[in-house]
Structure 1
């Protein structure tokens, strides 16, 4: 049944609009508060850091709670964040209300995925997960660019108004259209934690970390990069985000179907963007048509990254879906923190035009992890055959 996947997707749109909605307005926030762009970037990196540090623990803590109540609580906090942020509070308060929903973001994602696959066929599991994760791409094509466009025409506070509206709609749908889903049998902590001893899971976690670090080294400063390196104004940036998102929706569906056939090859294919995009951005110069082509390709290869990372990690721990996914979310956001932080440092010391090369470096590290995991799996197969 795809109904639950689409409900999870809608909530995901609210979650992603809140987390990434600031990307297109960071220059305006920096100007309003008279701070540097790398300090404004802390609104993204701090959010991600909280997720990275608390995600798995929060997910384990709520394993026994009704899944509908978990989703309602998480989205309510996101709604509160948007409302307070829209009143342009002091920067310290803006930072505080940005951090609060981060505690429940991985909980929402893990719960939404669990709800989606609980009513579907096992063979279509990855496709159902791709529907939930398509919320990322839909947010990129709708709410995030619209909020950026509205902020460019009015003021940055309106971006948070859009975030609040999306969260309110998601809250309404979850409350009225999702049935109560109490947990019948709570899994023990020990059964979940044992995946931390599996070498392939540890390597898969590292791949996730480096891949997300790679993408967000540049993507976190998408607006700043297009402003300074490509000479685009804020309105043009909103159009580029729209293009980015449209292609991303297609990419998520394509990736979901490909993952059902081969998880490793699909992950590697989309990961190739961390190598190709920096090179293409360099050679595209300030040619608008060329830059649009690269951004479209960027959106296609980037958008399924969270889906690919989660699926890649879960494939090495199939019996611990919720905990494995919370770790995927946690380490993915740790990657966002590292990528955003080092990207900000590169901008402050060298210039924004150098951030794509950081993407390439992290991308190579991620590919290295895929190669190591393949080696470990091939080495373990003969041992399993001998035991049998």
Structure 2
């Protein structure tokens, strides 16, 4: 039933608009509150950190609740958060408002994916998942750059008002178009927690964490990097975010078609971008086609990484789909938080020019971990010869 996947995708657009829309407006927020860019980056990292620390617990606690209700509660919190943020409250209150919806973000995504996959034919499961997760790419190409444009041409508060509108549309779609989705068979907490004893699943979680940390070391400071290092205007930056998102949509679509049968190869290909992009950014100069080409490649490599992380983790725990989904979201957001924080510290002591190289360091570790997992899986599945 494709309707479930597309409505789930719409909700993901609202969620990602709220979480990552802050990236393009960090310079304006920092100027408004008279703080440095790395301190403003906490607005992104604290959101991700709450998800990382509470996501699996919240998913377990809500695992027996009707999925439609859970998705509505989640979108309601996002509406309250963005509406309050648009009031330009004191910075500490803005931080609190950013934290609130993060408690239910992984709950929404895990339930949306589980609901869509549950009604899809087995061979279409990965493609159905890519439709839901495609909301990330769509937000990257539409509402995230729109946030940057609104901040540049009106004010940063208008970006939050737009985010509120997107979440309201998603909430109404869930309320009006989705049927009740009670959980028919609730798995015990113990059965779901068993996956945490599997070495392969833990290593896959580490790969997801490092991969997302690698990309967000730079992407979290996308606007500041292009402004400081590439000397772009705010209008040009929003255009580059649009280009980044467009190629990300293409990348997500391509990855969704092949990752099911070539998971390790696709994951390594995506991680290779964390090595190529820093060199390409250093080479391409300040303007023109070379810069646009690098940003286009950057989006093509970056966007499917979140889908790849989810597919990797679910494949390692197909018997605990919702919990594995939530752990995918949590470890990924821990990567967002750590990548943003580590890169922020480097930026504070050096400059934003070093951000891509921080990402490369995370990426190299992730590549080594993927190769290790492939070796261990090959050894485990190898036939055992018994002496006669």
Q: C-alpha offsets along residues 131-169 of structure 1, whole Å, 9 cap, x if unaligned?
A: 001100100111111111011001000110110000000
Aligned to 2:260: 260
Aligned to 1:113: 113
Change (3 A) 1:233 1:313: same
Aligned to 2:145: 145
Following superposition of structure 1 onto structure 2, how do residues 366-377 of structure 1 map, counting pairs within 5 Å? 366-377=366-377
Aligned to 1:292: 292
In the alignment, the residues of structure 2 paired with residue 9 and residue 113 of structure 1 have an alpha-carbon distance, to the nearest angstrom, of 9
In the alignment, the residues of structure 1 paired with residue 242 and residue 254 of structure 2 have an alpha-carbon distance, to the nearest angstrom, of 19
1:361 pairs with 2:352: no
What is the DSSP-based 3-state SS (H/G/I as helix, E as strand, rest coil) of the residue aligned with 1:285?
Answer: coil
Aligned to 1:68: 68
Gap regions ≥5 residues in structure 2 = none
What is the DSSP-based 3-state SS (H/G/I as helix, E as strand, rest coil) of the residue aligned with 2:69?
Answer: helix
Aligned to 2:31: 31
1:379 pairs with 2:343: no
In the alignment, the residues of structure 2 paired with residue 242 and residue 316 of structure 1 have an alpha-carbon distance, to the nearest angstrom, of 34
Q: C-alpha offsets along residues 288-333 of structure 1, whole Å, 9 cap, x if unaligned?
A: 3211100000001100111100101111111111111111111111
Aligned to 1:81: 81
Aligned to 1:244: 244
Aligned to 2:135: 135
* 1:385 shift after superposition: 8.6
* 1:261 shift after superposition: 2.1
Aligned to 1:306: 306
Q: C-alpha offsets along residues 104-152 of structure 1, whole Å, 9 cap, x if unaligned?
A: 0000010000011111101110000000011001001111111110110
In the alignment, the residues of structure 2 paired with residue 288 and residue 47 of structure 1 have an alpha-carbon distance, to the nearest angstrom, of 35
Aligned to 1:277: 277
* 1:287 shift after superposition: 3.1
Change (3 A) 1:17 1:230: same
The two structures have a TM-score, normalised by structure 1, of 0.98
Aligned to 2:213: 213
When the two chains are superposed, the root-mean-square deviation of aligned CA atoms in Å is 1.1
Aligned to 1:333: 333
Q: C-alpha offsets along residues 6-64 of structure 1, whole Å, 9 cap, x if unaligned?
A: 01000000000000000000000000000111110000000000000000000001000
Following superposition of structure 1 onto structure 2, how do residues 136-215 of structure 1 map, counting pairs within 5 Å? 136-215=136-215
In the alignment, the residues of structure 2 paired with residue 216 and residue 48 of structure 1 have an alpha-carbon distance, to the nearest angstrom, of 11
Asked if the contact 1:124–1:260 (Cα under 8 Å) also holds between the matched residues in 2, the reply is: no
The two structures have a TM-score, normalised by structure 2, of 0.98
Deviates more, 1:263-272 or 1:209-218: 263-272
In the alignment, the residues of structure 2 paired with residue 152 and residue 364 of structure 1 have an alpha-carbon distance, to the nearest angstrom, of 36
What is the DSSP-based 3-state SS (H/G/I as helix, E as strand, rest coil) of the residue aligned with 1:312?
Answer: helix
Asked if the contact 1:140–1:242 (Cα under 8 Å) also holds between the matched residues in 2, the reply is: yes
What is the DSSP-based 3-state SS (H/G/I as helix, E as strand, rest coil) of the residue aligned with 2:169?
Answer: helix
* 1:251 shift after superposition: 1.1
* 1:260 shift after superposition: 2.5
Change (3 A) 1:185 1:162: same
Following superposition of structure 1 onto structure 2, how do residues 32-51 of structure 1 map, counting pairs within 5 Å? 32-51=32-51
* 1:237 shift after superposition: 0.6
In the alignment, the residues of structure 1 paired with residue 195 and residue 288 of structure 2 have an alpha-carbon distance, to the nearest angstrom, of 47
Asked if the contact 1:149–1:235 (Cα under 8 Å) also holds between the matched residues in 2, the reply is: yes
Asked if the contact 1:209–1:334 (Cα under 8 Å) also holds between the matched residues in 2, the reply is: yes
Task: Spell out structure 1 runs of 4+ moving beyond 4 A.
Answer: 383-386
Aligned to 2:59: 59
Aligned to 1:9: 9
Corresponding residue pairs, total: 386
What is the DSSP-based 3-state SS (H/G/I as helix, E as strand, rest coil) of the residue aligned with 2:316?
Answer: coil
What is the DSSP-based 3-state SS (H/G/I as helix, E as strand, rest coil) of the residue aligned with 1:14?
Answer: helix
In the alignment, the residues of structure 1 paired with residue 87 and residue 51 of structure 2 have an alpha-carbon distance, to the nearest angstrom, of 25
In the alignment, the residues of structure 2 paired with residue 196 and residue 261 of structure 1 have an alpha-carbon distance, to the nearest angstrom, of 25
In the alignment, the residues of structure 1 paired with residue 309 and residue 200 of structure 2 have an alpha-carbon distance, to the nearest angstrom, of 13
In the alignment, the residues of structure 1 paired with residue 249 and residue 384 of structure 2 have an alpha-carbon distance, to the nearest angstrom, of 40
What is the DSSP-based 3-state SS (H/G/I as helix, E as strand, rest coil) of the residue aligned with 1:260?
Answer: coil
* 1:383 shift after superposition: 6.3
Q: C-alpha offsets along residues 145-202 of structure 1, whole Å, 9 cap, x if unaligned?
A: 1111011001000110110000000001000111000011100111111111111111
